Structures are given as structure tokens and as C-alpha cells.
Amino acid sequence: SARFIPLRSTSSTSLKKKDDVHPIEAARENPLLVRSSGRRRLRDHVIHWPDAHAHREGVYDKQGFLVKLDGSLPLELIYKYSNLSEGACKPGFAAAKMTAIYPRFTKLAPMFLDPNYKRFSKIGDYSPPFGIKSQEKSIDIVLSATKSYGLGEELDSISCKTCVIVGNGGILTNKSLGQRIDQFDVVVRLNEAPVKGFEKDIGSKTTMRITYPEGAIQKTERYEAQSLFVLSAFKALDLKWLRHMVFNQRLRSTDGFWKSVARHVPREPSDMRILNPYFIQEASFKLIGLPYNNGQMGRGNIPTLGSVAITMALHNCDEVAVAGFGYNMKTPHAPLHYYEKIRMSAIKESWTHNISKEKEFLVKLVKAGVIQDWTSGICGAGC
């Protein structure tokens, strides 16, 4: 037997039961779609929820994701996009699909910090990399110089944005995806992965390059002619470093960095940004389920930059694709990265990352059709 709970008339007391909290409360906050026990219900209808004697845990996993995933479109999305021409950008698609499998998802989270960043309370209580606590002075100084806080006038004016996150995986080699990648409105690249000489496989367009001091391109001639330099701050020292780069000041010491860092970034201040640290926080604690560690950086609780970039895109892009993601440990002699000869066997579970947990998260997104994986490296033939 099952009981039916009207979405709009559920009493507050019934929501306080531990087992009822996350799907129902989240659905009330973001009622694009609620799915439960394999059934779909549109807004204003009811939620099908097993009674107290049923095995409830089978519906959502501990992170709040729907357990039974499929890539089919929910009914209201089929209706919403039925009049669009083939290949046209689908407004709100990624967020709607994400909400369908993860009702806790709320879209509001800007890509970059702007002068009003303190209004975003979720980042105020955490130190880097999960927030901005005690770093307000450094951030304010940087933002006063950059004076630009979006993607740029042209991209910010687009009502429906398509985004692709280009990973650094060797799986990109000989895929000839360059032209398709360049067709996206926003092309995101990570760290120092080169473009020149690899255009056939990875494209030539770069909208932004997300990095941190140790991952930034060190040879100035390798920077693209036009792209945003986006800092993902993993420690307080990273923001201090960015301040030196923005004001073109000499870096006196590199103490505190775990490897050599760029000493000059050939970008105007107006082309530099600070990534919203909420994406690191959300990816780590909510989406992937890494150890909380009292909100501090610790063993195995830092998501890779690729997962952070995907999280950013889910909040700010209408359609999201990835390429060059995934490690196939069954092919130890395959190239780890598309631009160097290091082999897959070189990768080990690092101190900061939990690759297997991240893969579980990314597989969910691909299986449910939230993101498109063009190189099929995330779950291979298993999706």
C-alpha cells in the first residue's frame, strides 16, 4: 500500500520525519519535477511515497540522488521543448534534468565573485577552498581592479548558453572533436592543458581557463589571445598570489605552494575572475559526498577541478557537455593526458582527491542525461 501526500497541503509536522525531509522539502522549494518510485508527477499533483512499512531507502541515495536513473525526458520537458528546431539550445535543460534526479538542486549560484559576494551566505562560513572566510580584504582588492564579473557583454546577453568542459584526458586523442567543441557558446579548459598543436581533437576556442597557482600556464607565450583567467582558490595563499598577478607585482616568495607557480599572467585585470567557491563546497559535500572534516581541507575531500567546473556549468549553462573525462585503469599503457606521454598507470589515488567517488557522481549525470559525454570516458558502455 502507499499513501499520497499532496504537495501543497502537506502539514509542516509531516515534513519533520527524517525519512521525509529531503525529497519533499526540496520539491516544495524547487518544484520543477518530483520523481519517486519510478513514477513521474508534475507540479500541483501529488508525490507517490511508500508507507512507513515499505523500504524507503531504495528511492534516493544518501546524497539525495534518485536511485533509478534513466535518460528519458520528464513529461513537462517534452512539452517545453517540442516546438524547438533540432539542434537548438534548450533553455533550462541541464538544471531541469538535474532537479529531476536531485531535488535539492537550486540553480542560483553565479559563476564568479562580484562586489556583492557577501550576500551569498553559503560561502561566508567556510575558509578556502569551500568559502571566503577571512579573505574578504584580498577579494575586495582584486575585484576593485578587475571591475568585470561576468563572461563578457556578448555571452552574458545570450538567453540560452551551451557549455563544454574540456578535460585533459588522453581519451581525446584522435577523436577529431575540435570543430564540435568550437561550436559551443562557452568552452572551458583546465589548468595548463595546451591548445596549440592539438586543435583537431580539442578545438581552438577558449572562453575561460580555470586554474590555481600551481596549475597555471607558466610560459606566457602559451596563453590564448583572448580568454578569461579564472582562479579557483584552494587556499588563502592563492588569493594573495592572484593579487600579485592582477597588479603585475613581483612575487617575492613561493613558500606555501606545493610546486612551482606562474610568476606572471599576461592578462588585463578586466580578464581575470575569481571562481565562486560554492561550487567546490557543493561538489565536495553535497554532490560527491566527500568527508566534511569540519569544513576544512583534509584527506580525500577536495574534488578535482573537472568536477568543480561541471558543477559551475550546471548552475550557469542551459546545456552542458564534457569531453576528455574519465580514467580507464584497465588500459595502463594508454596516455593519461592528450598532450604528454605519461601513461595511465602513473595515476594513483591522491591525498586530496577521491577519484572513485567522483566517478560515481559523474556517472549519475551521464546516465540521467544531465550532461553529454562526447568521449564516453566516464562510464564507457555502461551508460
Question: Does residue 15 surpass a pLDDT of 60?
Answer: no
Domain membership of residue 108 (yes or no) is: no
CATH number of the domain within which 127 lies: 3.90.1480.20
Measured in whole angstroms, the distance separating CA 154 from the mean position of its chain's CA atoms is 22
Give yes or no: residues 236 and 338 share one domain.
Answer: yes
Question: Does residue 142 surpass a pLDDT of 80?
Answer: yes
Q: 291-298 contacts: CB < 8 A, separation 24 or more?
A: 295/125, 295/126, 295/127, 295/130, 295/131, 296/127, 297/128, 297/129, 297/130, 297/234, 297/235, 297/352
Grid coordinates representing 234? 584552494
Bridge pairing between strands 372-373 and 162-166: unpaired
- The region that residue 300 occupies, defined by phi over 0 for left and psi between -120 and 50 for alpha, beta otherwise, is left
CA angle 54, 59, 62 (to 5 degrees): 110
What is residue 369's three-state secondary structure? coil
- Domain span at 302: 117-382
Give yes or no: residues 284 and 374 share one domain.
Answer: yes
Give yes or no: residues 216 and 130 share one domain.
Answer: yes
Q: Which of 22-26, 113-117, 250-254, 327-331 has the lowest mean pLDDT?
A: 22-26
Number of domains in the chain: 2
* pTM given for the model: 0.83
Give yes or no: residues 122 and 82 share one domain.
Answer: no
Bridge pairing between strands 2-6 and 46-50: antiparallel
Give yes or no: residues 277 and 155 share one domain.
Answer: yes
Measured in whole angstroms, the distance separating CA 232 from the mean position of its chain's CA atoms is 12
User: Distance between CA atoms of 305 and 189, rounded to whole angstroms?
Assistant: 10
Give yes or no: residues 79 and 158 share one domain.
Answer: no
pLDDT band at 345 (very low <50, low <70, confident <90, very high): confident
pLDDT band at 5 (very low <50, low <70, confident <90, very high): very low
> Regarding predicted confidence, which is higher, 25 or 366?
366
Domain membership of residue 93 (yes or no) is: no
Mean of per-residue pLDDT scores for the chain: 84
Grid coordinates representing 377? 570516458
Question: Does residue 48 surpass a pLDDT of 70?
Answer: no
Domain membership of residue 99 (yes or no) is: no
User: Distance between CA atoms of 308 and 175, rounded to whole angstroms?
Assistant: 24
User: Distance between CA atoms of 41 and 258, rounded to whole angstroms?
Assistant: 50
pLDDT band at 332 (very low <50, low <70, confident <90, very high): confident
Mean pLDDT of 267-284: 98
* Amino acid type, 8: R
Mean pLDDT of 42-46: 33
